[in-house]
Amino acid sequence: MRKLLKQYFGYDEFLPMQEEIIKNVFEKKDSLVLMPTGGGKSLCYQLPSMKLSGLTIVVSPLISLMKDQVDSLNANGINARFINSSLSAKEISEIQGDIKNIKLLYIAPERLASEGFLEFLEKLSVSLIAVDEAHCISQWGHNFRPEYRNLKKLKSLFPGVPIIALTATATEKVREDILSELSLGNAKLFISSFDRKNLNLMVFEKKKLSQKIVNILKKYKGKSAIIYCFSRRDVESISELLNDNGLSALPYHAGLNSQTRKLHQELFINDKVDIIVATIAFGMGIDKPDVRLIIHQTFPKSLEGYYQEIGRAGRDGIESNCILFYSRGDLFKHRYFINKLSTVEKRKSEFENVKGVMEYCEMNSCRRKHILKHFGEDFLGECSGCDICDPSKNIIVNEGLFSDKNKKLIYDEDLFEKLRALRKNISEEKKIPPFVIFGDVSLKEMALQFPNTENEFLKIKGVGEKKLKDYGKLFLNAIKIHSALRLKNSFDENKMVGSIKHCAKTRKMVIKKVSLYDMANNQNVSVSTITNHIGKLLSLGIELNLEYLLPGEKDFKKIVKAFEKFGVEKLSPVYVYFDSQFTYEELKLVRFKMLFNLRGY
């Protein structure tokens, strides 16, 4: 399984529980998987599909989510397609005609209401059925979809086929509904930890809101953010406010026509706009991994909905911030809509949900612990990722001086930006979202590791065989050019002291393969001066064979890697990194050799 994981998805290790869930699938047993957004749910059915002989059917609620997932799978070398209302009858017919070559077929739940489509499915060799966003089947779920009730037919249509139902948020009542509605009486329950360690949870007083939002977003220029608002009017006014302040924002709500909504979503996914200001109608179909900030302008109506909405931040595992602006007065907005519900039972249930969010907002103890407790999980770790456990976050935001204090990897930021630009160019040419090519995690690792061969590039997280084939040369070339420029710019020949007479004497000794120490003794100078002579000669374009002075091949490669990691500007970081294993002169000579090769002598 790990071979397939690396080959198609570019990962060496499974995330927690993935391997156990996949094993259950291969044993042809049903599964109910509760895993937070970004926890790796999709892989639990995508990877088995590569080993199973037949077709994997994936029921998914939103068109945009289907398209992103299918694009990502195809980019990984997995033949996937979708059938939904965005396709013409001719396009659907072509997909159905090619069904034997397809490994994963994504469909909307509405398709299962069509007798003709059901007849088509019955003729297929189906090995696995995945029901994504399974909470939509429950009337107690925060995104109840009546058409999900069509899924009742699946178990009777395919009695021997395992079903895997997946959701990011589900209370005990919702879990029971999912199992009942899908007839999964013997399903094994998999509950992953709901703790998203990379998300900072913050609740702040709703005063001077406009000023605070603008100040926060200015710190996020060039990064992706979502602002959730209570009403369409709020969406429009905040979107206008941000644009007036030089920020790149677009609105998204049900009052806009479907074409406009689709366009705004695509611009956001393709990194052509930084901020989406939206009602909760936005986001369920967003698979964008690099959203760095979620803001709630009004507190949401349930903790389940809130946790799913903030789950759209930091899906790539990089630290991201979730800010909720709270005012007790906003309760009246919620009460107005609750009172319109048809039954007393529903009104009571919704009001309890709202009260639960208010309790979360008004508490004085760890927010992470509270929200995980709501999902039945005891949080035993230390939290520095909420405003209660780290009060400095509270002070910073309430003064309107929010700053992003994310921990940073020691990677080359210039190279990262160059790789981002390359990724964007490719995405525009291929008409696919940038993250489908490589996520930020992969680009940061490239800017840290500086791979210079295909084998090294394949070791980068997120690089599988198909992506190596499609993009390896382009990215390796960009890394090579950046490395060359960095080396060239770091070399200051004026520091390489020594008269021409003394340098000429050193040159003759290098030709005779005299050691550094013997050269130094012969000229009555330090070993450091001799290495500077060598640097001066190289800068003048004089060819020298330094091989006999350099460390062995294995050590040489280790030192080169260290220079590529820490930069060639200073010797000290590399010296410290190797804990004095190599002398400064050895490090200098390796650096000269790197430059020597670069200039093509």
Domain that holds residue 557: 493-598
Identify which has the larger pLDDT, 412 or 589. Answer: 589
- Both 417 and 379 in one domain: the answer is no
- Both 184 and 319 in one domain: the answer is no
The answer to the question of residue 407 being in a domain is: no
Other CB atoms within a 10 A radius of the CB of residue 601 amount to 11
Query: Which residue, 523, 512, 535, 540, is CA-closest to 585?
Result: 535
- Both 151 and 266 in one domain: the answer is no
DSSP readout, 488-550?
A: HHH--GGGS---HHHHHHHHHHHHTT--HHHHHHHHTS-HHHHHHHHHHHHHTT-----GGGS
Here the tokens at position 73 are 């799978």
Tell me how many domains the chain contains. 4
The rounded distance, in Å, linking the Cα atoms of 291 and 312 is 7
Single residue among 166, 191, 216 that ends a domain in this structure: 191
Residue 600 has pLDDT above 50, yes or no: no
List C-alpha distances in Å: 359 to 200, 282, 294, 370: 18, 25, 20, 10
The rounded distance, in Å, linking the Cα atoms of 430 and 425 is 9
- Both 42 and 64 in one domain: the answer is yes
Q: Read off the pLDDT of residues 169-215 as tens digits, 9 standing for 90 and up.
A: 777 888 899 999 999 988 999 998 888 889 999 999 999 999 999 99
The rounded distance, in Å, linking the Cα atoms of 228 and 226 is 6
* Residue 492 pLDDT: 53
Q: Read off the pLDDT of residues 377-393 as tens digits, 9 standing for 90 and up.
A: 888 878 878 999 987 66
Q: Read off the pLDDT of residues 246-290 as tens digits, 9 standing for 90 and up.
A: 999 999 998 999 899 889 988 999 999 999 999 876 765 677 899
The answer to the question of residue 564 being in a domain is: yes
The answer to the question of residue 408 being in a domain is: no
Single residue among 168, 191, 214 that ends a domain in this structure: 191
CATH number of the domain encompassing residue 387 = 3.40.50.300
Residue 141 per-residue DSSP state: S
- Both 7 and 88 in one domain: the answer is yes
Q: Read off the pLDDT of residues 21-60 as tens digits, 9 standing for 90 and up.
A: 999 999 999 999 998 877 789 999 999 999 999 999 999 8
Single residue among 191, 213, 246 that ends a domain in this structure: 191
The answer to the question of residue 249 being in a domain is: yes
Strand arrangement, sheet containing 224-228? 199-205, 320-326, 291-296, 224-228, 275-278, 249-252
Q: Which residues contact 260 (CB under 8 A, 6 or more apart)?
A: none
Q: Residue 244: enclosing H or E segment and its boundaries? A: helix 232-244
List C-alpha distances in Å: 226 to 249, 265, 506: 9, 11, 63
The answer to the question of residue 405 being in a domain is: no
Question: Region 341-366: what's the mean pLDDT?
Answer: 92
- Both 79 and 226 in one domain: the answer is no
- Both 517 and 419 in one domain: the answer is no
Spell out the alpha helix ranges (H) of 15-158: 18-26, 43-51, 63-75, 89-97, 115-122, 153-157
Q: Read off the pLDDT of residues 398-425 as tens digits, 9 standing for 90 and up.
A: 545 444 444 445 788 889 999 999 999 9
The rounded distance, in Å, linking the Cα atoms of 224 and 23 is 36
The rounded distance, in Å, linking the Cα atoms of 412 and 442 is 13
Q: What share of the chain is helix, strand, coil (3-state, %, to 5)?
A: 50, 10, 35
Residue 106 near residue 49, CB atoms below 8 Å: no
- Both 370 and 241 in one domain: the answer is yes
- Both 132 and 228 in one domain: the answer is no
- Both 262 and 346 in one domain: the answer is yes
Q: What is the pTM of this model?
A: 0.75
The answer to the question of residue 183 being in a domain is: yes
The answer to the question of residue 392 being in a domain is: yes
Q: Which residues contact 246 (CB under 8 A, 6 or more apart)?
A: none
The answer to the question of residue 212 being in a domain is: yes
- Both 246 and 341 in one domain: the answer is yes
Mean pLDDT of all residues in the chain? Answer: 87
- Both 364 and 440 in one domain: the answer is no
Strand arrangement, sheet containing 31-34? 80-83, 104-107, 55-59, 126-131, 163-167, 31-34, 188-191
Here the tokens at position 170 are 């589900």
Q: What three-state secondary structure class fits 57?
A: strand
Other CB atoms within a 10 A radius of the CB of residue 189 amount to 11
